[in-house]
């Protein structure tokens, strides 16, 4: 009853899929233990939101990012509401975890490791399986999903795992990756991916600052007129921006 109540509540406010995982069934090779985030945590509620096909397929990556930001904002609001629902209805603690940022930037992960691995959480909650692109493939919606998590002290059992291999091994994601970040099966080269998908992230920012510091006053004036400066300025108040959606866009699973 608890699970079905929470699932119904989450679906009614906009989630496309909802799954549950006991903490013992969640395994992430890089993220910290959930107990470090929320002492007494016993379970996680995992929600998924479908990306807009028109945005993912758009050659204009600002359109793709606009859709992603909408999904992130919806998931953030819903996570807060679901956590409130759990605390109010079941007198249990609940803590929402953001789909992307804020991130731990000072540790060894340097902004590349989330507090919870959404992919591994979705897998533990029976919402999908890993594909060749190392993303989660959902049996209904395919790869075009974003996932997010609510941690809770409420004791909930894990949903059944998906045992079917949903990946077709077509190799399209590997071929389409402009950074060759998927060349090694079972691993995503994060630095290659980030340099291509987030050119105006921390790496691009540091590169620009270093070039600016070493430039003459006249060169600095010209650097401030460069498009890269305007992109970095925009990223400063928008947040992380993705410029590549290829591995998601070319995956044929779940595309009607």
Alpha-carbon distance of 219 to 109, in angstroms, equals: 34
Nearest to 30 by CA among 160, 179, 190: 190
Spell out the SS3 assignment of 91-109: CCCEEEECCCCCCCCCCCC
**Domain ranges in the chain?**
2-167, 172-247
pLDDT category of residue 107 using cuts at 50, 70 and 90: low
| Residue 46 CB contacts under 8 Å (≥ 6 apart), including other chains | 18, 19, 20, 21, 118, 121, 122, 124, 125, 127, 147, 148, 149
Helix (H) or strand (E) holding 230: helix 227-238
Beta strands 43-50 and 145-152, pairing class = antiparallel
pLDDT tens digits, 169-194: 999 999 999 999 999 999 999 889 98
Alpha-carbon distance of 65 to 15, in angstroms, equals: 19
* Average pLDDT over every residue of 38-60: 96
Q: In the numeric block, which tokens belong to residue 92?
A: 């249990």
pLDDT tens digits, 146-167: 999 999 999 999 999 999 999 9
3-class SS at 149? Answer: strand
Nearest to 14 by CA among 151, 187, 148, 124: 148
Higher pLDDT: 200 or 76? It is: 76
Q: In the numeric block, which tokens belong to residue 240?
A: 């992380």
* Average pLDDT over every residue of 121-138: 97
């Amino acid at each position: 009853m608890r699970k079905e109540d929470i699932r119904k509540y989450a679906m009614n406010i906009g989630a496309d899929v909802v799954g549950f995982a006991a903490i013992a069934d969640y395994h992430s090779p890089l993220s910290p233990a959930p107990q470090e985030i929320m002492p007494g945590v016993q379970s996680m509620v995992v929600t998924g939101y479908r990306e807009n096909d028109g945005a993912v397929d758009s050659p204009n990556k600002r359109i793709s990012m606009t859709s992603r930001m909408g999904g992130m904002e919806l998931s953030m609001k819903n996570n807060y509401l679901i956590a409130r629902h759990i605390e109010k209805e079941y007198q249990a603690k609940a803590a929402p975890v953001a789909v992307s940022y804020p991130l731990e930037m000072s540790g060894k992960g340097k902004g590349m490791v989330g507090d919870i691995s959404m992919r591994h959480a979705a897998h533990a909650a029976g919402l999908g399986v890993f594909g060749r692109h190392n993303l989660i493939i959902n049996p209904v919606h395919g790869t075009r999903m974003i996932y997010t998590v609510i941690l809770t002290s409420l004791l909930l059992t894990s949903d059944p795992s998906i045992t079917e291999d949903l990946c077709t091994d077509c190799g399209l994601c590997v071929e389409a990756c402009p950074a060759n970040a998927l060349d090694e099966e079972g691993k995503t080269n994060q630095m290659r991916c980030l340099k291509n998908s987030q050119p105006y992230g921390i790496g691009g920012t540091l590169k620009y600052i270093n070039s600016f510091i070493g430039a003459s006053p006249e060169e600095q004036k010209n650097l401030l007129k460069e498009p890269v400066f305007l992109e970095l300025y925009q990223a400063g108040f928008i947040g992380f921006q993705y410029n590549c959606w290829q591995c998601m866009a070319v995956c044929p699973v779940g595309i009607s």
